[in-house]
Amino acid sequence: MRKVNIRELAKELKISVATVSKALRDSHEISEATKKKVVEMASKLNYTPNPYASSLRKKNSKTIGVILPEVADSFFSLAINGIQSVAELKGYHVLIYLSHDKYANEKTIVDDCSSGRVDGVLISISGETCNSDHISKLQNENIPIVFFDREFEGFDTARVITNDYESGYLSAIHLIERGVKRPSFLSISSCLPICKKRVDGFADALEAAGIKKSKQYNPVIYCDGNREQNYQQIKKLIKGRYAPDGIVASVERIAMQVYLASHELNINIPDKLKVIAFSTLETAPILNPSMTTITQPAFEIGKMAAEILFKGIEKTNFDLKHELVIIPSMLIERASTEKRS
Amino acid sequence: MRKVNIRELAKELKISVATVSKALRDSHEISEATKKKVVEMASKLNYTPNPYASSLRKKNSKTIGVILPEVADSFFSLAINGIQSVAELKGYHVLIYLSHDKYANEKTIVDDCSSGRVDGVLISISGETCNSDHISKLQNENIPIVFFDREFEGFDTARVITNDYESGYLSAIHLIERGVKRPSFLSISSCLPICKKRVDGFADALEAAGIKKSKQYNPVIYCDGNREQNYQQIKKLIKGRYAPDGIVASVERIAMQVYLASHELNINIPDKLKVIAFSTLETAPILNPSMTTITQPAFEIGKMAAEILFKGIEKTNFDLKHELVIIPSMLIERASTEKRS
DNA sequence: TTTATTTACGAAACCGTTTTCGTTAAATGC
DNA sequence: GCATTTAACGAAAACGGTTTCGTAAATAAA
């Protein structure tokens, strides 16, 4: 199946390339009769327009870039589905970039996006990102940017996030109401706004409840090493003399490690340790024990972020800076925080 | 930050665009002194080459297309990581397409890929795909194709798969050895080679063990409706009069539904029903009960598939048709198939 | 009937690179 | 000293579309 270009197609039809181009784009300048002939011949000769020639001339790519820390997490899998569902509808292509939660990677990726390769960018920043110069540079190229879930705080563009502070607050209250005296919050980053806000809410709830930090009790713990380091750290924590009797896992990955560690050390959940996790894990209800979660509307966040991005791309007068959508998470109570008498 | 093109860059340097282009691509035709000047000025003027102009001229896009049924499944999340890890190394971009397991979508996507937008395609076919004309068309455009995991049987191109037949056989043996008398295999498609092979292995094991199909006992059941239909079907099956005492779930999604249904109906796993699943679920060890799995090397399959694809793209004399890599799965025994006395 | 407008199409410029094919001057071979 | 190679660069032609602008004929307005 040889590939024909628009010139050969035009020659075959004995009309000009301009006419062919316009006919295929359904221009009003072209008569219905000609359009019909062109479309038929195009399909007969198996003509497909070269997307890069078209992008070059039109100065758009019908492509968006999606920058994620990783895709292992079920949150981002769901978010990709949300994004893709609207991209598909709009006829856009989706370029996936993974930062592996490293700032250096993220910078390289963002720079690549400023080459005109994409018409817009959806980004969830890495846990290491404490500087936004690379994103500013992208914005200066007039490329629409929407943060989803993991925003860079203070950066002036659209963002679609969830109610992290309230959820953090709620997670603490939930544990305290169920008899937890020494709850610990396991965070993964001190930069990441989602973590900071969750921690802030958590800490405020503790203060409201009169629970105080001490030498033996540290309510906020950072697990920012690699997987194995984190696992050892968690094991040490929950079997330690001053172990917490309740844990809030800031992300899915940490929640799973807490479960694994508890199983390994034979620490009963929820009797010895209550666990609540920020997670969209579908298996939460069938875990041993079923896990109480604060579930983010991952699909909706992705979908909404993409919708806003497309408005920014398609409407010239649409100002992304004023867009802020907060879609609330949901606390779903399960056995891992059950109160036993 | 205005965008400058190669022409303005050349004008600023008072040399020709040809020289600039060659200097930036480190051509031997250009002196070191000139190269240095060009690189410096490029960075000073914030020059980034337009990727589409470059693609148009060079007739390659440094982009690969990845076509997946969905990304909800943990197998594909892991596979994406594998693919991305090698694409990153090679400096390629990754375009993700989702077929949502529909043939019609897959066809549209594959057609899009034949426009020259991508230099190669990695594909895991949809459960509905029983015809390969669209893929043949792509192959006729000389675009390298590698199947991973879900191949189209008989199609002549590279494939990276796992040992599905053996795994199916093993799954049956595993159940039978643990006392299961009436094992059922829950498949999702009669087209999909991975399912067919798993079923074949399973059926052969049953025959070897002398277990026969009867009016009351159907060893192979197809769950090919939507999510809710499948769930109802599974519930009906396991609470029915002729319910199986062991189940092989052909994919993760089905396994989760079996668990959920068992929980809802208070059917004890593994006492009343033993369950083994084809799955890469990280939470398998902490499920209630922990789940015996046949775990596919998802990351490795993605990685290997991508590596082979790049060989096909970069080496003109490399024949993809002879490439077949089989990476074995691993049976990991856990509580869901435990034999109780 | 004359002028203005509309319709349908084509020639050519343009998008921003890369690459081919000179060309000139310096270096080398003999 | 002359022919030949080599080094370093530039002009211009691609790549394959889209868009602007012009134009001829057909139609409408005057």
Over the stretch B213-245, which tens digit does the pLDDT of each residue have?
A: 998 899 999 998 899 999 999 999 999 999 999
Tens of pLDDT, residues A201-237: 999 999 999 999 999 999 999 998 899 999 999 999 9
Decide if pLDDT at B1 tops 80.
no
- Tokens linked to A278: 């920020």
- Please, which residues bridge with residue A161 across strands? A326
- DSSP letter for B68, please: E
Q: How many CA atoms lie within 13 A of B276 on its CB side?
A: 32
pLDDT given at position B221: 96
Q: Measured between alpha carbons, how far is A156 from A147 in angstroms, rounded to an integer?
A: 10
Question: Residue B288 CA to D29 C1' — how many Å?
Answer: 85
Residue B68: both structure tokens together: 């997946």
Alpha-helical segments (H) within chain A: 6-13, 17-24, 32-44, 51-58, 74-90, 103-113, 133-140, 164-177, 193-208, 227-239, 252-265, 298-314
Confidence at residue A341, expressed as pLDDT on a 0 to 100 scale: 67
Environment class of A15 (CB within 10 Å of its CB; exposed 0-12, middle 13-18, buried 19+): middle
Which residues from chain B sit within 8 angstroms of residue A50, using beta carbons?
Answer: 56, 115-116
From the list B246, B263, B251, B259, the residue with the least C-alpha distance to B337 is B246
First to last CA, chain A: 74
**What does B181-214 look like in DSSP terms, one character per residue?**
SSEEEEES-SS-HHHHHHHHHHHHHHHHTT----
Residue written as tokens 């062919």? Answer: A20
Is it the case that residue A269 has pLDDT exceeding 80?
yes
User: Is B3's pLDDT higher than 90?
Assistant: no
Q: Are B199 and B168 in contact (CB under 8 A)?
A: yes
Give the CA count within 13 Å in the CB-facing half-sphere of B42. 20
From CA A204, how far away is CA A251, in angstroms rounded? Answer: 20
Which helix H or strand E contains B263, and what residues bound it? helix B252-265
* B46 contact to strand D (CB, 7 A limit): no
Closest by Cα among B157, B69, B67, B65 to B117: B65
* Mode of pairing for the β-strands spanning B145-148 and B183-187: unpaired
Please report which confidence band the pLDDT of residue B341 belongs to, taking 50, 70 and 90 as the band edges. Answer: low
Strand D nucleotides within 7 Å of a protein CB: 7-12, 14-21
In angstroms, the CA A76 to CA A70 distance is: 7
Report the relative pairing of strands A292-295 and A330-332 from DSSP bridges. Answer: antiparallel
Among all chains, which residue has been given the structure tokens 């869901």? B336
Q: Can you tell me the distance from the alpha carbon of A272 to that of B77, in angstroms, rounded to the nearest whole number?
A: 34
Report the percent of chain A where pLDDT is more than 90: 93
Instruction: Summarize pLDDT for B164-213 with one digit per residue, the tens.
Output: 999 999 999 999 999 999 999 999 998 899 999 999 999 999 999 999 99
For residue A54, give every residue at least 6 positions away whose Cβ sits within 8 Å of its Cβ, in sequence order, or none: none
List the single best residue of B283, B287, B288, B299 to mutate versus A (max A Cβ within 10 A): B283
Q: Return the percentage of chain B with pLDDT > 70, whole number.
A: 99
CA–CA separation, B13 vs B41, rounded Å?
A: 8
CB contact under 8 A, B288 and A283: no
Q: Which residues of B touch A285 (CB under 8 A)?
A: 260, 263
**Cβ within 8 Å of A, B 296-315:** none
